[in-house]
Structure formats: structure tokens, C-alpha cells
Amino acid sequence: MAGIDVGGGHGKRSANHEIPLIPFIDFLLCLVMFLLVTAVWSHMARIEADARVPGPPKDTEQDKIDKDKELHVEMRGDRKFQLVWKEGSTVVNTIDVPRKPVEVGSDVTFPDLAKKIDEEWKSQGAHRSAADKKFDRAVLHVDNSADFGSVIAVLDAIYAPTREFGPTAEKVPAFQVTFASD
């Protein structure tokens, strides 16, 4: 064990001392236990929704944006989702996806919707190259009475398709998403 040895020891009392390590270890173990119990192991993350997409401030940019195809995800009613590809105000294609929620703990997910959106982006997405700095846009139309948990599940499904981006080919979501103002 650790101690202080100053040599000698010929006097009445020895000047050498043992440092009491066992209480020190006990104290450290108590500290570790306290910190482990009180620590908040947070696994928070965020899901993005960009308000810049539908209403950019400059008219020139508005013209440019309107020429791109947009995927409108209609979340109305309990039976189905509707995926609508629009070019400006012109409807290009409409697809119905049955609404089949899958419960994961206390949350819901829509894996069928995620799969369909992924297929749609692979077939009709305009910005798929890693060198392309622009992203395809998705607009989410939500019924006012829908609960936020379902809204996040649909947002999660829209973010399912990923693409490579930049020189490092980093994997990023293929769509930028915003809410429709209706």
C-alpha cells in the first residue's frame, strides 16, 4: 500500500505513515455510483422541416423553384396516403398508398409509405447525383386533427430515401421537407 517513508525510525515514534487508501476507494466508488444513478443518458435527436422551401423571399428564386418537380404527401383520412408529384401547379402523377401503421413501442411508423417514397424518388427524383447541391422537395399536407406522433412518423418516412452528397459522398436524406400552409 501507499505510504510516506522518511527514513530513520530510531526515535520514540516513527515518522513513517500509511495513507489510508481503502476509505478513499470507498469514497470514489460512492461517487461513481451517485454519478451513474443521477446521470441522464439522453438520446435526443431532431428531424428537420425547412420553412424556406415553399416561400423563398425573392421572386426570381420562386420562379426557379416552381420549375422543379415536388412530391406532395397528403395525410388526410385514416385509410390512405396520397403521393402527388407536381410541377408547379400541374399534377404529374398521383399514387395511393394504404395507411398501415406499425407500432414500435408507444410510437408508430409507416414502413410501407417509406418504401413507396423511396421507390418514387429513385424513379422520379431530379437531384440524385452526389455533385448536385440541390435537393428534391417534399411538401406535407396534414389534417389539422392529426396527432403530432403520426406527423413525425410520416416525416420519418419521407426522410427514408438517402443519397450521397458532396466530395465525401456523405449519406444525407434525399428530400427537404416542409409543411403546406393549408
The answer to whether the beta carbons of residues 130 and 164 sit under 8 Å apart is yes
When the beta carbons of 97 and 158 are compared against another protein, the nearer one is 158
When the beta carbons of 23 and 167 are compared against another protein, the nearer one is 23
Question: Closest by alpha carbon to 114, among 126, 124, 102?
Answer: 102
Smallest separation, CB 108 to another protein (Å): 8
> Residue 115: what residue type?
K
When the beta carbons of 26 and 87 are compared against another protein, the nearer one is 26
Provide CB contacts within 8 A for 166, sequence distance 6+: 130
C-alpha 73/C-alpha 155 separation (Å) is: 10
Smallest separation, CB 31 to another protein (Å): 5
Taken as a whole, the chain contains a residue count of: 182
When the beta carbons of 15 and 28 are compared against another protein, the nearer one is 28
C-alpha 165/C-alpha 162 separation (Å) is: 9
Smallest separation, CB 24 to another protein (Å): 7
When the beta carbons of 33 and 92 are compared against another protein, the nearer one is 33
> Residue 66: what residue type?
D
Alpha carbons within 13 A on the beta-carbon side of 64: 8
Smallest separation, CB 27 to another protein (Å): 9
Q: Return the SS3 of 90.
A: strand
Binding site for another protein (CB under 8 A): 1-2, 21, 24-25, 28-29, 31-32, 35-36, 38-52, 104-107, 109, 111, 142-149, 151-153, 155-156, 159-160, 162, 173, 179, 181
Smallest separation, CB 147 to another protein (Å): 6
